[in-house]
Amino acid sequence: MKRNISAVALVAILLSLVLSACAVPAAAPTVDGGQEVDAQGGETTLLVWDIWTREADSQVVDQLDQEFEAANPGVKIDRVVKSFDDMKATAQLALSTPEGPDVAQINQGESDMVALVRAGLLADLTDYAAQYAWADRWDPSLVLRNSVKPDGSAYGEGSLYGMAPTAEFVGVFYNKDKFAAAGIEVPKTFAEFEAALAKLKEAGETPIAFGDLDGWPAIHTFSEAQGVFLGEEDPAYLDDFIYARGNVGFDNPANLKAAQKLVEWVDAGYFTPDFLGVAMDDAFQQFSAGDAAMFLTGSWVSGDLAAGPNADKMGFFLMPGSTEGARKPVVAGTSTAYTIRAGSEKKDLAAKYIDWMMSDRAMELFAGTGLVPVKGLPADKVAEGTLFADLIAAWDQVRSTNSIGHYLDWATPTFYNTITASLQELLGKQITPEEFIAKNQADYDAWLVEKGVKQ
Amino acid sequence: MSTSTAAPPRRGRPGRRRWTPFLYILPGFAIYAVFVLWPIVDTLRYSFFAWDGFTAPVFNGVQNYVDLLQDPLFHIALRNSLVFILFYSILPIVLGLILTMLLVRRRIFGLVVFRAGLFVPYILSMVVVGVVWRWIYNPSFGPLNQLLRAVGLDLLARPWLGDFTWALPAVGFVGMWVQYGFCMVLFIAGAQRIDETLYVAAKIDGAGETQQLWNITLPGLRGEISVALVTTLIAALRVFDLIFVTTRGGPGNQTTVVAMLIYDNAFVLNRAGYAAAIAVVLTLIILAISYAVLAVRMRYMSQED
């Protein structure tokens, strides 16, 4: 057994050498300081791995790093930027070595954060959360989705392991000109939303830009319809479902109604024609170019839409519930979470850094790049009538009604594959809504058994 | 560095001299062993463990293999991989032979250009090929559907990569487009090696083009065909990049292949042990098929003698 361990260690070292060589060093101020651990004593280097790859975001983080260094003499931030996929692939090895990052951005959910907690690689942040009063900055449901039982056996309860400064949520982007031309107001109920679809179709428009070649966009489309029916029947369902508490399954009336509704929309021709062969990027281009009236996706595309040809015509609203103002879950979450490596010797400093990334100053700078701060933003800091103003308003609505839902693919390790494939089959009319429900229920059941929640 | 080990051989025990050559390959072999042999052995070992890639592996005997046999996705992937043999192997060889007939023993203006042009798909990066064909197959603005609509064949236009019936053939066609160039170059080289006097003699005996093909060219290319068959079969069974770029296995699971399952299990689903078991089974299948092809070829060769 000993030989195995040394062999694994060898490969781990080789791999980490290769992989760390791939990492893109940010324009971090490592040059002027010279050596990492200063001979004069007192200088500490904090190694931070993040995934702020977008130019504007990356500049904000560099700015924040510099301000943090200025406020904390003797502290140096060594920042490494990685792509989302690269982080996913390298985090586990890096976090298990003593030279690994002190702070790393880790995706929430079963296959990343929970697996790393189970492996004992992430530090429990509960005490820091109390020290810095993070609960004041975060809604309780956001705390839960970054919480894991310390042994990794359950998600959505236990200790806090991550914090993230910006919010993401799924809703409806729309083209204001198309709405005006068809004589449509922003719908306040789901019935009005469907009436708008019919009206736009009649006017010869493509009501919803949609491309599901990549599989995942349909998850959001389904979730939008699901939220409406869950709002009617069981608003707490998604928490129970995602955290695998064993009292709910996928086979409930709301999910069936949502599946039936999507098929209805396919039959009515409300989506981009031949959407199963259309890539997400092409659907985005279609909407951005002004060739479709609506686009159901996450707030993360807002920056690209604002940089597109029809930026001033873009608006955003949350999918309305069955009655006006009805509480319904909205698929939402935070950006990837800042975590601390369990083996780090600079945990206190790392926590201070995370607190700085959650500060009002950080929120303000992130908002400047079009990202929605988790805390929201005072109205006087938002330009009226812009897409960003719609997003800020929508996030306030989500928070004030406490209706933060979940990404369905977090449910089980295999759920992403199961639901993307079965949604393509459902929308391609290969299976019935009932068969769609059964397929996903089978995946979910197997997971509950594996977790020991169910016999 | 290695010169120090290459001291002039002394008259000593013969065994010593016999080992000297192995010292020369040692550096290369060491790298090969660390990066190829060891991972293979390790993969085999992990296939007997339940391992999430994070925590300590737990030995579970042949459970991974038992699960694999009952995994409906594996059956679908295996079936799709077999369909890929048609597109990656059989059709490119047939097409390569036809092109060889057309391009060899004939004077065509600009022949070199044709040959080079036909070979280009093979040397393109598979990711580039995938991206280009994804665009060609685009339902609304892709050139293929536009062409079909332009000539009035609107009925044939479809979302190729999103069509439950046509996605697999559509991706397979791309594979054929990539592979035939390799077969063609191999066959052309082989055909040029065939003694010209055989054709002259055949013509004198009154053999037509077809008879020359069946009796001289094809037998003469037997070696090349078996090489092409083994290489393309392996390529067919381990196809991954093309699928990953074009469809990611969709729509539904219509284009899922075995290599895709390995990727999903190892890197997306954190089931490294199970992925290792699939990889071992895929390797065994490839070995078996390659061995079968070579065995048939050996039998032919011994018949010829």
Q: Which of A306-315, A351-360, A407-416, A419-428 has the lowest mean pLDDT?
A: A407-416
What tokens appear for B285 in the block? 């299948």
CA atoms within 13 A on the CB side of B157: 20
Phi and psi at residue A310, to the nearest 5°: -115, 35
Statement: residue B8 has pLDDT above 60: no
Residues of chain A in Cβ contact (below 8 Å) with chain B: 7, 14, 89, 92, 111, 115-116, 118-119, 121, 212-215, 272-279, 282, 413-414, 416-417, 420-422, 424-425, 428, 430
Contact criterion met (CB < 8 Å) for B139 and A273: yes
Contact criterion met (CB < 8 Å) for A417 and B138: no
Optimal mutation site among A3, A117, A118, A417, interface B, most CBs of chain B within 10 A: A417
In the block, which residue shows the tokens 């170019």? A289
Statement: residue A77 has pLDDT above 60: yes
Statement: residue A145 has pLDDT above 70: yes
Q: Is B302 part of the contact surface with chain A (CB cutoff 8 Å)?
A: no
Contact criterion met (CB < 8 Å) for A111 and B139: no
Task: Judge whether A328 and A231 are in contact, CB under 8 Å.
Answer: yes
Statement: residue A111 has pLDDT above 90: no
Q: Which residue has the higher pLDDT, A8 or A97?
A: A97
The model's confidence at residue A4, banded by pLDDT at 50, 70 and 90, is very low
Class of domain A168-333+388-451: alpha beta
For chain A, helix (H) and strand (E) counts, in that order, are: 19, 13
Statement: residue A315 has pLDDT above 90: yes
B266, amino acid identity = A
Statement: residue A143 has pLDDT above 90: no
CATH number of this structure's domain A22-162+336-370, picked from the four choices 3.90.1530.30, 1.10.150.20, 3.40.190.10, 3.40.50.1820: 3.40.190.10
3-state secondary structure of A208: strand
Residues of chain B found within 8 Å of residue A282, distances taken between Cβ atoms: 138, 140
**Residue B163, pLDDT score:** 92
Statement: residue A7 has pLDDT above 70: no
CA distance A298 to chain B (A): 21
The model's confidence at residue A86, banded by pLDDT at 50, 70 and 90, is confident
Task: Judge whether A214 and A127 are in contact, CB under 8 Å.
Answer: no
Domain-wise residue ranges, chain B: 2-46, 63-304
ipTM comes to 0.79
**Residue B16, pLDDT score:** 61
CA distance B245 to chain A (A): 9
Average pLDDT rounded to a whole number, residues B79-84: 92
pLDDT digits (tens, 9 = 90+) for A11-25: 444 444 333 334 433
CA distance A42 to chain B (A): 35
Residues of chain A found within 8 Å of residue B41, distances taken between Cβ atoms: none
Q: Is B163 part of the contact surface with chain A (CB cutoff 8 Å)?
A: yes
Statement: residue A30 has pLDDT above 50: no
How far is the C-alpha of A60 from the C-alpha of A66, rounded, in Å? 10
* Burial readout B52-64 (b: 16 or more C-beta within 10 A, e: otherwise): bbbeebeeeeeeb
Average pLDDT rounded to a whole number, residues A192-213: 95
The model's confidence at residue A26, banded by pLDDT at 50, 70 and 90, is very low
Average pLDDT rounded to a whole number, residues B263-286: 91
Q: Where are the beta strands (DSSP E) in A341-406?
A: 372-373
How far is the C-alpha of A230 from the C-alpha of A50, rounded, in Å? 35
DSSP class of residue A431? S
pLDDT digits (tens, 9 = 90+) for A114-129: 889 988 999 999 999 9
Class of domain B63-304: mainly alpha
**Residue B15, pLDDT score:** 57
How far is the C-alpha of B239 from the C-alpha of B260, rounded, in Å? 8
The DSSP annotation for A291-305 comes to -SSEEEEEGGGHHHH
Task: Judge whether A210 and A217 are in contact, CB under 8 Å.
Answer: yes
Every domain of chain A with CATH number 3.40.190.10 lies at 22-162+336-370, 168-333+388-451
Contact criterion met (CB < 8 Å) for A111 and B54: no
Q: Which of B38, B52, B264 is facing A417, going by the closest CB pair? A: B264
3-state secondary structure of A140: helix
DSSP class of residue A206? -
DSSP class of residue A114? I
Statement: residue B226 has pLDDT above 50: yes
Element (H, E) at A118: helix A115-118
CA distance B92 to chain A (A): 26
Report the percent of chain B where pLDDT is more than 90.
49
Highest mean pLDDT among A54-68, A260-274, A327-341, A394-408: A260-274
Contact criterion met (CB < 8 Å) for B162 and A424: yes
Average pLDDT for chain A: 86
The residue in chain A having the minimum alpha-carbon distance to the alpha carbon of residue B131 is: A279
The pTM of this model reads 0.81
Residue A123 CB partners (closer than 8 Å, separation 6+): A161, A339, A340, A341, A342, A344, A347, A350
pLDDT digits (tens, 9 = 90+) for B161-196: 999 999 999 999 999 999 999 999 999 889 888 888
CA distance B150 to chain A (A): 18
**Residue B268, pLDDT score:** 80
The model's confidence at residue B14, banded by pLDDT at 50, 70 and 90, is low
Optimal mutation site among B49, B54, B165, interface A, most CBs of chain A within 10 A: B54
**Residue A344, pLDDT score:** 93
